Structure 1
Amino acid sequence: MISALLLVFFSAIVSAQSSGTESEDVKPFEFALIGDMPYANADFRKFDRLIKEINADQKLAWVLHAGDIKTGLSPCSDELLRDRLKRFQQFQLPFILTPGDNEWTDCHRFTAGSYHPLERLAYLRKLFYPQPGVSLGQSTMTVTTQSRDAAFSEFVENIRWKKNRVIFATLHIVGSNNGLLPFSARTQADDDEVKRRINAALFWIKQTFTEARESNAHGVFLLFQANPRFELAKGNDKRLGFEEILNLLEQESVEFGKPVMLAHGDSHHFRLDKPLFSSGAGKKHIENVTRVETFGNRDIHWVRVVVDPNSPEVFTVHKQIVEKN
């Protein structure tokens, strides 16, 4: 009788602990999303105010930057890139950056310094991802990096992590047709880089959704820089470099069937919409997919993303206007 009572007692404890873990696992949390900033010296004071506001917000778990940390015409010098790193390190929270075209792809431009893009990409990776698998910011967090896979060893910038049954990942997808726009000094190496980066992104997307399904995740959040022109018809020239990625995002999102948020910058204005349409007759929105685009350029504001794994939408977005900006 005593043994039976003890068994019931310990079973109740295990059940309560499991229930508590389950409850804690799906607690809501929030984070900050920014992009396309700071562009110019005139923006630095505004950016400082944005950093101060985000640092003062005790609800936030981390800060995500969707890339483009300078204008496409400003110098791609070591000095400028180091300046941006120094500014980003003022964030007290873990800080995660996905690269944009302005800081490497477009550095061949004369006003940007006539650099070779691949040289700038190598420097960018060395500077902003000094410890692969560890975020930037005054407090850091550990993430999974694609560079752990020997087949994709250079892609330190593609990362993935999970919190409260929601999966997050970054994808190195940039403007300028994902790096395919021609320039006078372009070589075969530049073309090969684009192919490898697209293949890496496709593989990372597949892995992310596979993990989401196998772990019964409640949602998936993907961050990249480029506006891939969701609204244009398939085959449009402006979707060059993005077509394969968009097709896979459509396929995986439909199969996943739960909330997916796609976050990017590039166009310099905030927007929130349903960007993907199902293939075939009767063009319809894929309702479980939402796109959020960051503020940027002269609009130095941020986006609050609230994640509630128990809610039907999972992701809720709020514009955060820095009043003095």
Structure 2
Amino acid sequence: MKSIKNNLRYILTALLLSVSCLALAPANANVIRFVTLGDMPYRLADEALFANLITEINRTNPAFTIFVGDTKSGGSPCTNEYLESIWKSFNRFESPLIYTPGDNEWTDCHRPSAGSFDPEERLRFIRQLYFQNSNSLGKKPLRLIRQADIDPEHKLFVENAYWVSGTTLFATVHVVGSNNNFENASEYAMRNRANLAWLDYVVKVAQDRVLDHLVIAMQADLFYSPEQATSPKSGLRDTIARLNQLLSKWNKPALIIHGDSHQLIIDQPFKHPGTKRVIERAYRIQVMGDHQ
């Protein structure tokens, strides 16, 4: 019975979120059914459950799946073998699998329990393995437009990508937990500049193409503490401020998807800059994650 409950928990974690986004669309819009999930599998015992989840997602035949980072726990080993095993799992998805990295895959790999790796070396390995070309993962990959391919100033950032489905622009941006690796000043500064430029760019693309909806996926929980929006020591402050600015001007339905804190949240935390007024058509979904 426990095994059955665990399987159902993993299935619901992903599939309920694939439907919740449809509230953004007007009644006469073309509906895009997609799955979003993250923060799994966290332990060896869960790998079979994750395999069952992939089978169930394949059965539902979504347009694509977005994985918002954390393919392991922060304390488990960051070995090549483990990262390669997840890469193989992602390629078992029948439809496209779009992945944005989490902190557990690289920023936290310096921990002794994770193998005392150099986080930046782990990030390089992830980029080489998961982002070999401009196609997504999955058996039927989707061609992505990547920041690295169109912005010479940020040619390292193969993980930042966008694609358009119907009248919706989808994008990934590499913002992670563990305070977005803020304590590593040089790495953070470079990636933060790239991320802010990418957010500006994808919103402009959506505006120029007169698209109706905007979906942006990342790993970090931007709102786990109010201080993240204000503290000079916050690695998420710039991202929050830029999203508030861009979503306020966008003024159309928008959805920010992330993981990190392992609790299902659907709310409207974005505010018009300099005010406490909620940006009415901007929502966020935090996926449930491991064993929720």
**Fold shared by both chains (TM-score > 0.5):** yes
Residue 236 of structure 1: CA displacement? 3.5
Paired residues, what number?
263
Separation of aligned partners in 2, 1:220 and 1:277: 17
User: How much does 1:97 deviate?
Assistant: 0.6
Residues 309-324 of structure 1 aligned to structure 2 (within 5 Å)? none
1:77 is aligned, of 67, 76, 79, to 79
Does the 8 Å CA contact 1:66/1:100 hold for their aligned counterparts? yes
CA-to-partner distance for each residue in 1:270-319, whole Å, 9 max, x for gaps?
110001122335x22111110001121123xxxxxxxxxxxxxxxxxxxx
Identify the residue that residue 285 of structure 1 maps to in structure 2.
Answer: 278
Bigger strand share: 1
8 Å CA contact 1:230–1:275 kept in 2: the answer is: no
Deviation at 1:244, TM superposition (A): 1.1
Aligned to 1:61, what secondary structure does the other structure show?
Answer: coil
C-alpha separation in 2, matches of 1:102 and 1:230: 17
For residues 231 and 147 of structure 2, what CA distance do their matches in structure 1 show? 30
Contact 1:265 1:295 in 2 (8 A): yes
Structure 2 CA distance for aligned equivalents of residues 254 and 150 of structure 1: 28
Aligned partners of 1:209 and 1:247: how far apart in 2?
A: 15
What CA deviation, in whole Å up to 9, does each residue of 1:206-227 have, x standing for no partner?
0111111111110100000000
Match of 1:48 among 46, 51, 61: 51
User: Which structure exhibits the higher relative contact order, with contacts defined as CA atoms closer than 8 Å and separated by 6 or more residues?
Assistant: 1
Contact 2:245–2:273 (8 Å) recurs in 1: no
Aligned equivalents of 2:225 and 2:216: distance in 1? Answer: 18
Q: Which residue matches 2:182?
A: 180
How far the C-alpha of 1:95 sits from its partner, in A, is 0.5
Tell me the secondary structure at the aligned position of residue 168 of structure 1. Answer: strand
> Matches of residues 1-325 of structure 1 in structure 2 within 5 Å?
27-58=30-61, 60-131=62-133, 133-148=134-149, 149-181=151-183, 190-229=184-223, 232-233=226-227, 234-236=229-231, 240-281=234-275, 283-299=276-292
Determine the C-alpha separation between the residues in 2 that align with 1:108 and 1:231.
24
Instruction: Name the SS for the 1:30 alignment partner.
Output: coil
Cα deviation, 1:106-137, whole Å, max 9, x if unaligned, reads 10000000001010000010111111x10000
Unaligned 5+ runs, structure 1: 1-25, 182-189, 300-325
Amino acid at match of 2:285: V
Identity %: 36
Query: Could you say if the C-alpha distance between residues 124 and 107 of structure 1 is closer, same or farther in structure 2, counting changes exceeding 3 Å?
Result: same
Give, in angstroms, the shift of residue 231 of structure 1.
Answer: 5.9
| 1-structure distance, mates of 2:75, 2:265 | 25
SS for the counterpart of 1:227 is: coil
Q: Deviations over 1:147-177 (max 9, x none)?
A: 0121111100000110111101000000111
Q: For residue 240 of structure 1, give the secondary structure of its aligned residue in structure 2.
A: coil
2:230 alignment partner AA: G
Shift of 1:230: 6.6
Task: Give distance in 2, aligned partners of 1:235 and 1:213.
Answer: 29
> Does the 8 A contact of 1:125 with 1:157 survive in 2?
yes
Q: Distance in 1 between matches of 2:205 and 2:55?
A: 36
CA contact (8 A) 2:135 2:141 kept: yes
Whether the aligned pair in 2 keeps the contact of 1:89 and 1:137 (CA below 8 Å) is yes
Q: Which has the larger radius of gyration?
A: 1
Q: Decide whether the 8 Å contact of 2:68 with 2:217 is kept in 1.
A: yes
For the 8 Å contact 1:220–1:259, the answer to whether it is kept is yes
In the aligned structure 1, how far is the partner of 2:209 from the partner of 2:273? 27
Structure 2 stretches lacking a partner, 5+ long: 1-28
TM-score, normalised to structure 1's length?
0.78
RMSD between aligned alpha carbons? 1.6
